[in-house]
């Protein structure tokens, strides 16, 4: 038996999987990822609880490939903005991107199905690769999981003060944790994920853009 085979028998598969993820992410991002994972496992989630400033007007949703979670979040937020403002505010920007996106890829079929359930469409969505310009222009950057956050912190360390877990706006078991990638599930898993994203967007809007409308109405009463 080789040392590697012996290690696999002793160490739980989950730990081996986490080590594999950390290695794939690289030295710096891997260390950040393992740190986030350890804190989460012992229930320390203070950093995940931070909310974006109420003054935020430019939102950047980030996931792995920009074909499912971040694409859904972007479309859901535009829908919510349309319900709040009669005309789209010129100062509001909502973008999604993937850390490993293949530019031009269509949204995943499961995500397109889940989108229809929530009254949005991803038929015209095309994946975008995250760029420095997107990061610079965003008031807040909202990753979905610890891998996303670790890579963001590693690639864009100067943007660390505007990176917030989208799960800070979740309800239930995902709150202040991760929004898992439904790519490894099925269409029903994707539908569940989309509904949770809708909750996140509703809460995010309530703390940011909904306040803009209230302020404008106070300044210009009917």
Give yes or no for a contact between 167 and 62, defined as CB atoms under 8 angstroms apart. Answer: no
CA atoms of 73 and 91, how far apart (whole Å): 19
Q: State yes or no: is 117 an active-site residue.
A: no
- Scanning the structure block, which residue is given the tokens 């359930």? 117
- Whole-model pTM: value is 0.90
Q: State yes or no: is 200 an active-site residue.
A: no
Domains of the chain: 3-41 (no CATH), 48-219 (3.40.50.2300)
Q: Which residue is catalytic, options 140, 175, 181, 191?
A: 181
Q: State yes or no: is 69 an active-site residue.
A: yes
Per residue of the chain (222 residues), give pLDDT as tens. Answer: 555 444 345 445 777 788 899 999 999 999 999 999 999 999 999 989 999 999 999 999 999 999 999 999 999 999 999 998 888 788 899 999 999 999 999 999 999 999 999 999 999 999 999 999 999 999 999 999 999 999 999 999 999 999 999 999 999 999 999 999 999 999 999 999 999 999 999 999 999 998 766 666 666 665
Number of H helices, E strands in the chain: 9, 3
- Scanning the structure block, which residue is given the tokens 């929004």? 179
Q: Which residue is catalytic, options 69, 112, 128, 191?
A: 69
Residue count of the chain, please give it.
Answer: 222
C-alpha pair distances (Å), 77 with each of 12, 22, 73: 40, 31, 6
CA atoms of 63 and 165, how far apart (whole Å): 11
163: β partners: 141
N-term to C-term CA, the chain: 79
Confidence (pLDDT) at 90: 84
For residue 137, give the nearest of 53, 71, 57 by alpha carbon. 57
């Amino acid at each position: 038996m080789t040392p590697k085979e012996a290690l696999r028998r002793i160490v739980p598969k989950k730990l081996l999987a986490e080590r594999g993820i950390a290695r794939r992410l690289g030295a710096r991002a891997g260390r950040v990822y393992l740190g986030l994972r350890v804190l989460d496992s012992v229930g320390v989630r203070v950093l995940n609880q931070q909310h974006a400033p109420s003054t935020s007007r430019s939102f950047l949703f980030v996931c792995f490939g920009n074909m499912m979670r971040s694409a859904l979040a972007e479309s859901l937020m535009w829908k919510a903005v349309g319900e709040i403002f009669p005309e789209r505010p010129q100062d509001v920007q909502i973008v999604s991107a993937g850390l490993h996106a293949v530019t031009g890829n269509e949204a995943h079929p499961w995500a397109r199905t889940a989108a229809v359930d929530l009254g949005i469409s991803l038929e015209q969505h095309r994946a975008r690769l995250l760029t420095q310009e997107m990061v610079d222009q965003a008031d807040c950057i909202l990753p979905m999981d610890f891998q996303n956050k670790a890579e963001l912190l590693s690639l864009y360390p100067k943007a660390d003060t505007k990176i917030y877990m989208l799960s800070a706006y979740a309800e239930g078991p995902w709150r202040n944790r991760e929004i898992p990638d439904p790519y490894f599930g099925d269409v029903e898993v994707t539908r569940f994920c989309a509904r949770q994203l809708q909750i996140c967007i509703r809460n995010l809007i309530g703390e940011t853009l909904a306040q803009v409308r209230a302020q404008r109405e106070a300044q210009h009463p009917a």
